[in-house]
Amino acid sequence: AIEYAVDDATVSFNPRFLLDPLKALTKDKVTFEFRDDMSPGVFRTDGPKEGDHLSFLCVVMPIRTDLLHTPFVPRKRHVRPAE
């Protein structure tokens, strides 16, 4: 089950970077936290027993999707005339 602690948000991550830490985990309960669309996401788990100190931490960076919607405009090349 997924539990949300705040309002909906839109953040993009490379799926491979999300799956790699999840494949390495053996715990059933994982916390994934992020602050906004440009802040890193953080995977966390508790220690061996519920309430123990942190036993797993992984930071993943989001992808800037605002650049994907901007049309590509090639730069003009400035060529000096031959002397």
Sign of the CA dihedral running 50, 56, 61, 65? negative
Contact between residue 3 and residue 32 where contact means Cβ atoms under 8 Å apart: no
pLDDT of 38 reads: 83
Helices (H), 1-83: 15-24
Instruction: Report yes or no: 77 and 51 within 8 Å, Cβ to Cβ.
Output: no
- Rounded Cα distance, 78 and 83, in Å: 15
Res 65: pLDDT = 73
Tens digit of pLDDT at every position of the chain (83 positions) = 667 777 777 788 888 888 998 888 877 888 888 888 788 999 888 766 666 666 788 999 988 776 655 555 556 666 666 66
Give the pTM.
0.61
